[in-house]
Chain A
Amino acid sequence: MAVRRKLIKERVPTPERPPKERVKDFKEVNLGYTFELAVKEAERCLQCPYEYAPCIKGCPVHINIPGFISKLVEYRDNPDKAVREALRIIWNDNTLPAVTGRVCPQEDQCEGACVVGKVGDAVDIGKLERFVADYARKNGIEEELLCEFEEECTGELGKVAIVGAGPAGLTCAGELAKMGYKVTIFEALHKPGGVLAYGIPEFRLPKEILDHELAKLNRLGVEIKTDHVVGRTVTIEELLQEYDAVFIGTGAGTPKLLNIPGILLGRIYSANEFLTRVNLMKAYEFPEYDTPIAIGKKTIVIGAGNTAMDAARSALRLGSEVTIAYRRGREDMTARIEEIKHAEEEGVQFEFFLQPVEFIGDENGRVKAVKFERMRPLEERDKRGKRKIVGTGEYVTLEADTVIIAIGLEPNRIITETPGLKTNPNGTLVVDENLMTSIPGVFAGGDAIRGEATVILAMGDGKKAAKAICDYIEKKRAKANA
């Protein structure tokens, strides 16, 4: 479209529930755009050409962003048509837009690259993507499109097994199904979704949205076997006998714990345990739900990534006062800006340059305080560009009756014990440029090869692996027929 647009610097805000109201429940904080607001925001897009658009390059699954945004403007008089056309474009590259629109760190990806962002606010691509998916879901438009896509999903080209139903596995499955493969996902937990199911709380990603996205995959012919722990229930070798290829998307699910005195005291949780109880098991509705959670009046969360924010904001909603203690400074925090802002609005306190050195227990074996060493930043930076820190020899003790450790995750050992599967020293799987592991026909992606990263990077890997798997199977067939 050769329409010249005036650059509008300020983005159209999305309505949010007020902090005082939202901390009382686990319902979604951001309410998203209406059609009118979405069109207004869409008009801010300068419509860079597809070949150059930096936002597309910034998106790990390369959604045609200006393409879908233009449809909202073009069919502004017909919302249903606008959304149908926009969703069709998004689905070509991403089958989980309601999820990614909500949980991607857009400021580091598509929005970080947006040209408008150089002079004002970047176009709110995430919220627009989310709007399209939400509107389509609520108005039956998705259903129409699903019928179209279903026809392509013949399942005739071959059989692929996917290990792990997280973002990488789900994306790989969706892509392969669209290409015409029969896909079976093996998931260890009772619910698919991986970190989307157990890690990310309802107030960021309502579970009904996740369920809906999963049901969509079923429609595309993807079968999900829950309760299957690959490595124990069935091995990779056995899968290779039955399937043409295997994709490992088992993530990085093993929590790193601090190797300091007192780590086994009561009410010290890994963020994974805490969030699994809250999100997957709905412990916040105990005793209507059977899984309990024990939380006190004062919680300290250690770490400052997205997981730490999720844990802190969940603890707040369970009625605790919450402090985030981080060993570096404010500007070093890795969580999304929006999440940090939401946490602050809701009343989470922040303490910086504190490194835990000991957990102190009471006479009942429960944590009652955390001893920290004060840290100091240096000018020197580490590999990730963060300032290095050193201890000052000065100590502070903060009271807490609950501690949640959110200092990171590493790959799960059950899968890496597969004979012949090469791993790096940090436990991640070794893969080549086509994401194939050391076992021919076995591919891997997401946190299983990267260590802890983001949902959208995992999805990008899932998509790339799907293409590689397709090539691999075709080559294998050609050889066999020659």
Chain B
Amino acid sequence: MPYKILDKKELAMNEVWYKIHAPHVARKVRPGQFVVVRAFPNGERIPLTPVTWDREEGWITLITFVRGKTTMRMANELKPGDELLNVAGPLGNPAPMKKFGKILAIGLITGMVEVFPIARAWQEIGNEVTTLHVTPNPMVILREEFENAVSRHIVEGFDLQPGWGMNEIAQELVKRAVAKVKELLESEHWDLVFIVGPAGGQKAVFNVVKEYGIPMEADLHPIMVDATGMCGVCRVTVGGEVKFACIDGPGFDAYKVDWDELIHRTGFYAPLERLALEHYLKTLQAQGGEQ
């Protein structure tokens, strides 16, 4: 199955945009659903979210955050005209399309990508949607698209300090998100809060929202392999029951999610992920040496 890369560009620091020919997905995908992509013959399967699509022309767009080997290799090696080996989907359940009223939809860093199709659809069916993007300033994306699609779009950006690693960025992200969400919840009435982002950030924001008793939905990002319900690696505890995020989610009631467990499970492969990235960087270096 050839899935041609029709276009590709760097939107911001570490944020790469791809337009992919995938008519089977474009025809059917609904906001909240995702795809699984395999880009290389020895590659892994990674879940990504279609941001926009054209059912007639048969394309979808994806935005990846360059955070490890696969996404870096895609950013480095794939050019427009190349093909992705596999794009499976759409997968997961669509987000509920209801009139909730006034919605605050939050995206942390690249989580904003996943917020886009859902927020836009909610707005279209008559909700009043405010979107909040919390991210380092060099990684602000889709600003104009959001401004055109929803009632109000807020960017809570912050500058990266010299010497910061992932931990410092994550800490600042959580601090900013919590402060901004508190401010918004304090000053206005909300019917629903929705969040996409790293589990740690989602939990921190949930702890704020909980104090106000506002209904909250979260799209969860556990590790996935097949994403069709046949392995259970994406299992999460929701309301005391074991659920598979790929077929029961990815959206869940934030009040029912066991957040600590989720945070734990997403970090399992961190050492091997680092190893894979180092291995790739070494290969790149070796290739650079030969040239």
Contact = CB atoms under 8 A, between A and B. Distances in A.
Nearest to A291: B44
B242 interface: yes
A273 B24 contact: no
Interface in A273-301: 273, 276-277, 281-282, 285-292, 294
A248 B70 CA distance: 34
Given A232-B91, A286-B272, A292-B276, A255 B228 contact: no
Contacts of A414: 228-229, 247
Contacts of B91: 229, 232
B228 A229 contact: yes
Given A263-B242, A287-B275, A365-B264, A272 B231 contact: yes
Interface stretch (A176-184, A220-228, A311-319, A391-399): A220-228
A291 B231 CA distance: 14
B89 A227 contact: yes
A264 interface: yes
B265 interface: yes
Interface in B230-267: 230-233, 235-237, 242, 247, 258, 261, 264-265
A276 B231 contact: yes
Contacts of A287: 69, 275-276, 279-280
Contacts of B280: 287
B25 interface: yes
A188 interface: yes
B272 A264 contact: no
Contacts of B86: 190, 226-227
A266 interface: yes
B230 A294 contact: no
A412 interface: yes
B232 A273 contact: yes
Interface residues of B, number: 45
Contacts of A264: 235-237, 242, 258, 261, 265
Interface of B: 1, 24-25, 28, 33, 38, 40, 42-45, 69-70, 85-91, 225-226, 228-233, 235-237, 242, 247, 258, 261, 264-265, 268-269, 272-273, 275-276, 279-280
Given A190-B88, A233-B90, A228 B232 contact: no
A22 B118 CA distance: 52
Nearest to A186: B24
The 5 closest A-B pairs by CB, nearest first: A273-B231, A253-B230, A292-B272, A227-B88, A290-B44
Contact of A281 (B225, B265, B279): B225
B40 A290 contact: yes
Interface of A: 188-190, 198, 225-229, 232-234, 253-255, 257, 259, 263-264, 266-267, 269-270, 272-273, 276-277, 281-282, 285-292, 294, 365-366, 412-414
B276 A253 contact: no
A255 to B, nearest CB: 5
Most buried by B among A272, A291, A294: A291
A267 B264 CA distance: 12
A289 B42 contact: yes
B274 to A, nearest CB: 10
A45 to B, nearest CB: 40
Contacts of A365: 261, 264-265
B41 to A, nearest CB: 9
Contacts of B90: 229, 232-233
Nearest to A361: B264
A157 to B, nearest CB: 26
Contacts of B233: 269-270, 273
B85 A270 contact: no
Given A225-B1, A365-B264, 6 more contacts: A190-B85, A254-B229, A259-B242, A264-B235, A290-B69, A290-B276
Contacts of A233: 24-25, 28, 88-90
B120 to A, nearest CB: 21
A226 B226 contact: no
Nearest to A288: B42
Contacts of A228: 24, 88
Most buried by B among A190, A257, A267, A269: A190
26 contacts: A188-B226, A190-B88, A225-B1, A227-B86, A228-B88, A232-B89, A233-B24, A233-B89, A233-B90, A253-B229, A254-B230, A257-B242, A263-B242, A264-B258, A273-B231, A273-B232, A273-B233, A276-B226, A281-B44, A281-B45, A282-B42, A286-B272, A287-B69, A287-B279, A290-B276, A291-B45
A413 B228 CA distance: 9
A234 B28 contact: yes
A217 B113 CA distance: 41
Contact of B229 (A276, A285, A412): A412
Contacts of B44: 281, 289-292
A292 B269 contact: yes
Contacts of A189: 88, 226, 228
B45 A266 contact: no
Nearest to B276: A287
